[in-house]
Amino acid sequence: MTTKNLQDLLQEGVEGRHVLVRSDFNVPLNDAGEITDAGRINASLPTIQALVEGGARVILMAHLGRPKGEVNPKFSLAPVAEALSEALDQYVALAGDVVGEDAHERANGLNDGDVLLLENVRFDPRETSKDEAERGEFADQLVALTAENGAFVSDGFGVVHRAQASVYDVAQRLPHYAGKLVEKEIDVLKAVVEEPKRPYTVVLGGAKVSDKLGVIQALAEKADHVIIGGGMCYTFLASKGIDVQESLLQEEQIESCKKLLETYGDKIVLPVDLVAAEKFDAQADNKVVAIDAIPEGWMSLDVGPETVETFKKVLSESKTIFWNGPMGVFEFEAFSKGTRGLAEGIIESTSNGAFSVVGGGDSAAAVRSLGLDEAGFSHISTGGGASLEFLEGKDLPGVKVLES
């Protein structure tokens, strides 16, 4: 990266300085408000710990969920403050607001090595505003928390593809640095984009084709194989004239899928069998069927065992693997075998020398919830959308601004 990094900031000195850090604490919560996957919190620790040890007065900014610009206790960062306190082995205070009186009082009262977490930045509608002046006003108020010698560290890779106040506009107003996490993510993804060892295989899952059309097209040009599973595979199958019954289908994307298959058909690898279910339910009656034999009124919720073996064969011959999106409804045990089998295939390839990247989001959550060994992958990204856009070749505003 051509930008300054955390090491540069530490060498300049952070003792006594207020340092604003944009982290990514958008972690999943259960109905009781408990964190079910702390992966993003754990990934943020090295940057925070380095600043604490350097004597900085650390102010963390992050979001959780989609509160739509309104204060909503359901999306409070209170569980994150608790988890951070435990992980850092020191008290992390949570401000009662974002840039209000409580945030200012707490920021002014910080001692060297203290950590303050601001409340959810998306409680303020200006954070995600399309109006540059509105975002700028909010960014000014965030910067005002840092006193005269403040600095900004960008360490929330999951949000660098968004031009938002705490990601983009704050960086224009303070000396800015890439945190350890952001720097590592960019370095890893650059290696995949610029010089992938071949064969290079991309695995894409998830629900909607529309979300990943551009990605599929961009990566099909660069990769040797594109494996497609998850909800999006049914639109591809439908484009081949297969009746997918009640499976997830985007009819308006059938023509696009048809064109992709016509152009890149030799590279795209689709399922050959499926796990069909009577309904969308963890306990639903289910059976393995051929792709064109889903019972009438049923739906597919996972790829089948023969498909897993087909995918594994491609993976076993690959030297670079990028995976984004589960193969089925992995949250339901009966429909988790496709995702598990695929992940095990990637782990096996990695042990044989392949370089593998798990592209954040549901894929990373699946690795952890299925109890798979995280060390079996070369890198697990914290940003699903950001990693996909980077691989697609798009500029990420939150990264671009650090280079200025």
The answer to whether residues 106 and 95 touch, using CB atoms and an 8 Å cutoff, is yes
Alpha-carbon span 65 to 198, nearest angstrom? 38
Active-site residue flag, 40? yes
Alpha-carbon span 231 to 238, nearest angstrom? 12
Active-site residue flag, 385? yes
CB neighbours (10 Å) of residue 188? 18
Phi, psi values for residue 232, rounded to 5°:
-70, -20
Alpha-carbon span 401 to 130, nearest angstrom? 17
- Give 122's Cβ-side CA count (13 Å radius): 20
Alpha-carbon span 384 to 359, nearest angstrom? 5
3 state SS for 133-189 = HHHHHHHHHHHHHHCCCCEEEECCHHHCCCCCHHHHHHHHCCCEEECHHHHHHHHHH
Q: Which of 39, 205, 341, 361 is catalytic?
A: 361
> Helices 384-392 & 213-222, crossing angle to 10 degrees?
50
Torsion of CA 242, 244, 250, 253, to 10 degrees: -10
From the annotation, which residues make up the binding site? 24-26, 40, 63-66, 122, 162, 212, 331, 360-363
Q: What one-letter code names the amino acid at 113?
A: G
From the annotation, which residues make up the binding site for ATP? 212, 331, 360-363
**CA neighbor of 346 nearest in space, from 374, 312, 379:** 312
From the annotation, which residues make up the binding site for substrate? 24-26, 40, 63-66, 122, 162
Q: Which of 156, 304, 385, 398 is catalytic?
A: 385
Alpha-carbon span 325 to 36, nearest angstrom? 18
Which token pair is 342? 């695929």
Q: Which of 173, 208, 240, 287 is catalytic?
A: 208
From the annotation, which residues make up the binding site for (2R)-3-phosphoglycerate? 40, 122, 162
Active site residues: 40, 208, 361, 385
